Amino acid sequence: MLQTFLPLFVMTFLICLFIVIIQFLWSHIDDLVGKGLGIDLVGELFFYAALTLVPLALPLAILLASLMTFGNLGEHVELTAMKSSGISLLTVFKPLIVFIGLMAVGAFFFQNNVLPKSQVKMWTLLFSMRQKTPTLDIPEGAVYTQIPGYNLYVKHKSKNSNMLYQMLIYDVSLGTSYPRVVTADSGSLSLTEDQRHLVLNLYKGEWYEDMRSSGNQGAAGLSGDLYRRETFHDKEILIPYDNNFTRMDDELMRQQYVGKNITELRHTIDSVRVRVDSVGAILSQELRMTPVCGVPSYRTEYRDSVRSVVHVPEVSMSRPINFDSIEKSLNSVDRLALIERAAGNARSMKQDYEFKGYTVNDDNFVIRRHQIELQKKFTLSLACIIFFLIGAPLGAIIRKGGLGTPIVISVILFIFYYMIDNAGYKLAREGRWPVWQGIWLSSAVLLPLGIFLTQRAVNDSAVFNPDAWLNVLRRITGMHQVRKLAIKEVIINDVEQEVAIDKVSALKTSCQQFLARYPGRQGYLEYWRNGYDKGLLRSLAQQMDEVVDYLGNSRDQMVINKAMDYPVIRQLLTYHPTNYKHLGTAIAVLFPIGLLGYAVGLRHQRNLKRDIAHAVTVCDQMIGILTGNYDREMEYNNG
């Protein structure tokens, strides 16, 4: 099993890793193109990105490899041969379960020890590349804006040299209000040896400058309307332009949540939580000490250089204060000043505590991000096990190998997993759900699916059999089920006329007794407390199946056709809702639910009585066929 699984796993893992790396490249293509980066830097970025994307590619590779492995075994009837030799499916799974378990342990240590370092290296390198100045690639007939502080227009370039012709330069390094404009018939661009400055050599041009942009207005008695115009034959301009690649320090990124292991994450969570608690205690104390209507609730006292906060007793009033009368006693100017001062104090206090609340919210957000990263150290290991529990039994059930069907199923399942995982992550990050609920949501949804598929595969149950699901749907909705019989080629026990008549007559009597026991519609409370007798229905269904099985041995096509007219008596829950009268009474009290269930139950009971009454008619017709008193031509004509 390992020899079969491991090559497929390596192949699918490399394919999945390549796909997610291409997706990473597509997301950050703007940060890499046009920067003149060396192949060594790009290769280093892709190496760290590949390590960072392992948690995304590993579960998908396990799912696809297990699907292909057991799909191939099922398609080539090897699983059937193993089972016929007495080897159970769990025994076949055992070596791969051990391997996946060891891989889950390795995935945990990878998440805790390797992934933080690779993420620090990747993000540091990516941010450094974003700050790298683009290489000079001046287009023809368009404005080039990649030189900081300058906009350059070139009508055309020489193909054999670095000469530029009919140049127009806007120098906005001192601001865009008063740019310096330079025109030149031709020119060239070059970099200094240290790659930190750009040398612009211009020939036969003019320089236009508004002197107000240089801060000279009003100086030496000059007016503010001073302009400068210069005509030159050749001119050299030195422009700051750092073309070197400067790698950022890793320390800043190492302090973020992506660069910490479990111990560091827990230490940061505890530290920030202590700060949040202390800030909350200070804010609560400030709120308690805030004066109410100018009357302080606490005051600070010093005794022997010891500071203490003492509660101020409430002010007792002989009668309530009438604020309306006080306000009306003021003139309009004082009244308006009073209202504006009160509104200003309220507004200032609101803004103050909103700012403090933002600080606490930022700290809580930091705690959540660190808690999310802490929980994700464990989710990869469980995801590996879950996807194996889904892929291996699913491959044994569908029995399709190759790359076609397994890839389609794997992509659908992984998209479903990714959507749930991303939704849980966002809910946890925004604080709408507890962190552990959001991060473990995808595992909680897919683990029951893996257990269900494993149980079905071990028991050889028909998961994708449409007839099985149709039977379940019929039991839920009460749909009718049609019997199907055919004349047997080999009959061991022939149908005896007298025995058949006795069985059909007994069935007719049982059906009539049931209809006599329940002649009318059951009342609301009677339905929920009693319903129809389950034992009687089960006995009637068994008796009808025995009659049909016995008549199925007949050599008469008319008997076979008429036996198919017997209805199928199903054991629906709506016939007898509950075995406990008190529970039925409690459900009946819940009128919206009780009335809906009562309406559905009456419909199913009505259909059941109609089927049983039809069975009585079929019994009479069957007795007529067996005794020879039934008009067969009329039966054929009606059919």
Q: What is the pLDDT of residue 404?
A: 72
If 0-12 CB within 10 Å is exposed, 13-18 middle and 19+ buried, where does residue 260 land? buried
Residue 99 scores a pLDDT above 90? yes
Least confidently predicted of 162-171, 210-219, 540-549 = 210-219
Question: Taking Cα atoms as reference points, which of 86, 105, 100 lies closest to residue 392?
Answer: 100
Q: For residue 144, what are its two tokens?
A: 């080039």
Residue 636 — very low, low, confident or very high, per pLDDT cuts 50/70/90? very low
Amino acid code (one letter) for 216: N
Question: Taking Cα atoms as reference points, which of 55, 88, 93 lies closest to residue 395?
Answer: 93
Spacing of C-alpha 441 from chain mean position:
8
Beta-bridged to residue 167, according to DSSP, are 154, 184
* 171-226 per-position pLDDT tens digit: 877 766 667 888 999 888 877 777 677 888 888 898 888 766 555 444 444 445 67
Q: Confirm if 571 and 541 have CB atoms less than 8 A apart.
A: yes
pTM of the model: 0.61
Least confidently predicted of 163-172, 309-318, 431-440, 599-608 = 309-318
Q: For residue 81, what are its two tokens?
A: 């041969």
Residue 318 scores a pLDDT above 90? no
Residue of 609 and 461 predicted with greater confidence: 609
Q: What is the pLDDT of residue 152?
A: 85
Average pLDDT, the chain: 82
The SS3 call for residue 639 is coil
Q: Confirm if 257 and 367 have CB atoms less than 8 A apart.
A: no
Residue 289 scores a pLDDT above 80? no
- CA pair distance 576, 584, nearest whole angstrom: 10
Across the chain, which distance is largest between two alpha carbons, in Å? 136
- CA pair distance 59, 384, nearest whole angstrom: 5
Q: What is the pLDDT of residue 639?
A: 47
For residues 76-93, average pLDDT: 84
Q: For residue 623, what are its two tokens?
A: 């007795």
For the residues of 116-136, what is the DSSP string, one character each? Answer: HHHHHHHHHHHHHHHHSPPP-
DSSP state of 294: T
For residues 307-317, average pLDDT: 71
Residue 56 scores a pLDDT above 80? yes
Q: What is the pLDDT of residue 462?
A: 56
Least confidently predicted of 30-44, 250-264, 494-508, 540-554 = 30-44
Q: How far is CA 259 from CA 119, 123, 216, 253, 255, in A?
A: 6, 10, 52, 7, 7
Q: What is the pLDDT of residue 223?
A: 46
- Domain ranges (residues) in the chain: 2-131+371-458, 142-216+223-240, 469-638
Torsion of CA 268, 269, 270, 272, to 10 degrees: 80
- CA pair distance 583, 590, nearest whole angstrom: 11
* 413-440 per-position pLDDT tens digit: 888 888 998 899 899 888 888 999 999 9
- CA pair distance 505, 499, nearest whole angstrom: 10
Residue 294 scores a pLDDT above 70? no
Q: What is the pLDDT of residue 221?
A: 44
Q: How far is CA 354 from CA 283, 347, 359, in A?
A: 11, 10, 9
Residue 395 scores a pLDDT above 70? yes
Residue 410 — very low, low, confident or very high, per pLDDT cuts 50/70/90? confident
Percent of the chain beyond pLDDT 90?
15
Q: What is the pLDDT of residue 62?
A: 92
Question: Taking Cα atoms as reference points, which of 210, 213, 198, 215 lies closest to residue 152?
Answer: 198
Q: What is the pLDDT of residue 363?
A: 84
Highest mean pLDDT among 98-112, 159-173, 521-535 belongs to 98-112
If 0-12 CB within 10 Å is exposed, 13-18 middle and 19+ buried, where does residue 497 land? exposed
Beta strands 227-240 and 197-210 are antiparallel
- CA pair distance 52, 60, nearest whole angstrom: 15
Question: Taking Cα atoms as reference points, which of 170, 176, 166, 159 lies closest to residue 141?
Answer: 166
Residue 298 scores a pLDDT above 80? no
* 510-529 per-position pLDDT tens digit: 999 999 999 888 888 888 88
The SS3 call for residue 295 is strand
For residues 73-99, average pLDDT: 85
Within 10 angstroms of residue 100's Cβ, the number of other Cβ atoms is 23
| Cα dihedral sign, 311-316-320-321 | negative
For residues 3-7, average pLDDT: 90
Q: What is the pLDDT of residue 613?
A: 92
* 462-475 per-position pLDDT tens digit: 555 555 555 656 55
- CA pair distance 149, 153, nearest whole angstrom: 14
Residue 361 scores a pLDDT above 80? yes
Residue 456 scores a pLDDT above 90? no
Q: For residue 188, what are its two tokens?
A: 């060239």
For residues 394-413, average pLDDT: 78
If 0-12 CB within 10 Å is exposed, 13-18 middle and 19+ buried, where does residue 266 land? middle
- CA pair distance 610, 543, nearest whole angstrom: 18
Rounded (10°) angle between helices 54-75 and 332-398: 30
Highest mean pLDDT among 112-126, 287-301, 394-408 belongs to 112-126
Strand order across the 227-240 sheet: 142-144, 150-157, 163-171, 180-191, 197-210, 227-240
Q: What is the pLDDT of residue 472?
A: 58
Q: What is the pLDDT of residue 585?
A: 81
Amino acid code (one letter) for 613: A
